[in-house]
Each structure stands twice: as structure tokens, then as C-alpha cells.
Amino acid sequence: MTKEYNYVYQYLEKEGICIDKNEFEIQIQSHPQYPYLLAITDTLSFFNIQNGVIRAEFSEIELLPHNFAVLLKEEGKESQFYFIKKNKRNYTYYRDNTTVEVSEKQLKSLWCNTVFLIEKPESTNKEKPCKPCLFVSLLFLIEICYALLYGSTSILYSFQSLFLLVLILLTGMSWVSMKSFFIKYQVMQDSLLKSNQFIDHYETFKSVLLLSEKVKQSLPSSSVLALGNRNAKLKITLIVNPFSAKSRNAHFVMEQILENYHDLVCVEVRFHFNHADYGYKKSKTVHEQLVYLYLSEGPQAFITGLYNWFTYTDERKLPTTPITRENEIVIKEILSKQFTCNIENHLFFAPIFSINQYLYPKQYDYKKLINFIEELSEDPEFHN
């Protein structure tokens, strides 16, 4: 499948953006529009990579960045996207693992007016300027200019005075500008410090959480895989994909929460498996065996099964008991209802946490959630 997304990977590499290809391809397959372009753009957004698709006539090519991807129609082939790199006199596009150089005229004949863009995130790592160094440099510049002016008798005194005055004014303006920069830099640093101080503050977390989108609860109770205290007022939902490394990390966060706050929280685990499209046999088997564990042996066996799977990713660590036809129908119904509920809420990827139906804020790492469990469980705003 990697070949199918070569242009995406080539583009990301040129922009200096790293991505786990295996994780990307696992996530994109769960999108309802897979394998179309919308699935690609949504999946990149899930990885916090800004991107977009625009319509652009070839006459607008000069307005495009140095690197971009575009839909091209080669003779005898279907239209497909290629990564394009602008050169001084021509253009290079990548066909499989080879590069093809074309002139502007040749590229125009292939152009299909659909452009795909990826925006490289700006680095926030700014080095603090050396104030003494800048100040000394300015003094040194003044001394050189002064020596040039007054060390020569060929320049009129009035011109010397005027030039020196202008130089002093420019120096003053430069210093004011630099002083403003230093102040802004200090404010930025203070802001970062404050944000770090408040990141673990419950009221801040709560405010951000309540601004998040709310998930519609349309899943019937018969399809709920509940862990912890079913009667707890604090409800956490976790959507996982057994083949996702991101889901593995989220699962271990969930385990830690259950170990420490078992009686305070009810954790509902959902899968995002489309039973109408088995994908490959292993995926179907793993999903069915995990749900069967819950139905036949209960929540604790299910937690252990998830732990074993995410730790070893070995089917042999799951039960090998044959699933009866009757249980297979029940399992299929559960997975189908969970998938439908996810799609209705536009939840296409995994992992996704929600707290009493509020989507977990992107600004917070999942590992931070455990810090707020006690206060969330005591907060009347989350008792509905």
C-alpha cells in the first residue's frame, strides 16, 4: 500500500515532516472515504499536519510554493497525484521511485487543476539574542563610522555633522527596536511558563474540555463494553484500533486509570471495525476474539486480553476457543453498532478519548488525564 501514498511521503520528507508510515496506513483504512483524497487529508489532520486541497489553473502555478502535489493525467493512464518540485527552469515530478523532469509546457499538458498542499509547522524554538553582543556591535559600528568621518579632511564639516546626526538617530531607532524585541521575547517566555504552570490546573483543563465537541450517545447498552464501575458518574469512552501504536499507548493510560480509580470511573471501550469490509482475516479474528473475551469471561479477562495483544501483538496470546455461530452473530452486532456510532459522530480514527461525551482536548496529552480523574468524578457538571 505504501506505493499508493508515495507522493504524500515524498512531499512530507521534502518538508522535513516525519510520519510513521505503518500507523498512517492503519489509520487511513478506517476512514469511510478510503482510499480517496478526503481520507488522506483527514488522516494527515489527525496527525496534526496542516494540509488542504485547492483548485488552481496552470496560469497560477507561480503562486504555488516550491513543493506541492498535483493531479496529473499522463497519456494512457488514469489521473493521479504526483509530488512536484520547482526548479529554476523546469519542474521535477516523482513517478514511483524515479524522477521525471518536464518543461513548463509539458507540465501544462498534464495539469488537471487540483493541487494538494501540506504546510510545514513553524518551529517555536527561538534562540535568545545576546543583548551585550548586540550593544557592543552597535558601539563598534559607531566608532568605525566616527573614525571614517573625522579621520578624513576631504569631507565638509557640515556634511560630517549631518551624517553623524543621522547615524545617531538610526542607532537610537535600532536600539528601541531591539528593546521592543527583547520585551516581546520576555513576554513570550513568561506566557510559555504560565501555560506550563496551568497545564495541570483542573479548572483550566475543565474550561478547555467544555469547549470541545460533544459526542452523541447513540450506542445501545447491549453494545457497550464497560470496565470499572458501571454506576460511576464519570464516564470515559475510548475508541481503539488493535493494530495502532497510538491506541496501544492510549490503552496503557486507560489501564493505569482503572488500576488507580476503579470505583470512580466507568470506561467504555469501543472498536472501529467495519464488518462489511473485513480488510484481512487477522483483523476480523482479533476483533472478534477480544469481544468474545468480554462476553464469555467478563471485563477483567477483556482487560488482560487487550494488554496481552498490545504488548505482544500475537494472536496466540488470545483465546483459541471456537466462537459459536450464535456468539458470532452477537459479536458482529456489537462491532457493527460501535462502528455506526463512530461514523455518525465523525470519529474515524483511533485512539479517541471522550469524557462524559466531551471529546478529549487536543491541547492535552492523554497521559495528563489521570491527573484530573478525582476532580472530574467530584464535579457536578460531569454527573449527567
Q: Which of 74, 76, 56, 73 is nearest to 65 (CA)?
A: 56
For residues 156-173, average pLDDT: 50
Digit-coded pLDDT (tens) for 175-209: 445 545 445 545 554 454 345 667 789 999 999 99
**Per-residue confidence (pLDDT) for residue 135, from 0 to 100:** 46
Helix (H, G, I), strand (E, B) or coil at 111: strand
Based on the number of CB atoms within 10 Å of its own CB, is 269 exposed (0-12), middle (13-18) or buried (19 or more)? buried
Tell me if residue 370 falls in helix, strand or coil. helix
What pLDDT, on a 0 to 100 scale, did the predictor assign at position 49?
96
Query: By CB neighbour count within 10 A (0-12 exposed, 13-18 middle, 19+ buried), where does 116 fall?
Result: buried
* Bridge-based pairing state of the strands 225-228 and 265-271: antiparallel
CB 74 within 8 A of CB 110: yes
- Map grid coordinates 452473530 to a residue: 329
- From the list 258, 255, 321, the residue with the least C-alpha distance to 290 is 321
- CATH top-level class of 2-118: alpha beta
Average pLDDT over residues 141-168: 51
Across the beta sheet with 91-95, what order do the strands follow? 51-55, 111-118, 67-72, 80-86, 91-95, 98-102
Q: Are 224 and 257 in contact, with CB atoms under 8 Å apart?
A: no
Q: What is the pLDDT of residue 96?
A: 73
Cα→Cα distances 96→307, 314, 321, Å: 39, 33, 45
Minimal CA–CA distance to 137: which of 98, 82, 178, 188? Answer: 178
User: How far apart are alpha carbons 193 and 204 in whole angstroms?
Assistant: 15
Alpha helices in the chain (DSSP H): 6-14, 21-28, 37-46, 104-110, 131-150, 157-198, 202-210, 245-261, 281-297, 299-312, 325-344, 373-378
Model confidence at 153, pLDDT cuts 50, 70, 90, reads very low
Q: What are phi and psi of 141, to 5 degrees?
A: -65, -40
Separation in Å, CA 325 to CA 112, 218, 292, 331:
51, 27, 12, 10
pLDDT class of 95 with cuts at 50, 70, 90: confident
Q: What angle do CA 347, 348, 349 make, to 5 degrees?
A: 105
Cα–Cα distance for residue pair 215/227, rounded to 1 Å:
19
Integer CA distances (angstroms), 188 to 125, 128, 130, 251, 336, in order: 12, 11, 17, 35, 49
Q: Specify the DSSP element, H or E, that contains 267.
A: strand 265-271
Above pLDDT 70, what percent of the chain?
78
Q: Which of 77, 156, 80 is nearest to 114 (CA)?
A: 80
Q: Is the pLDDT of residue 137 over 60?
A: no
pLDDT digits (tens, 9 = 90+) for 229-281: 999 999 999 999 999 999 999 999 999 999 999 999 999 999 999 876 655 67
Identify the H or E element spanning 69: strand 67-72
* Residue found under cell 461525551: 357
Query: Is pLDDT of 297 > 90?
Result: yes
From the options 2.90.10.10, 1.10.3720.10, 3.40.30.10, 3.40.630.40, give the CATH code of 213-382: 3.40.30.10
Q: How big is the CA angle at 28 (ends 27 and 33), to the nearest 5 degrees?
A: 135
Residue 28's DSSP bridge partners are none
At residue 319, the pLDDT reads 80
Output the nine-digit C-alpha cell for 55: 483548485
Tell me which of 115-124, 328-337, 369-378 is least confident: 115-124
- 3-state secondary structure (DSSP) of residue 57: coil
> What average pLDDT does range 284-313 have in this prediction?
94
pTM value is 0.74
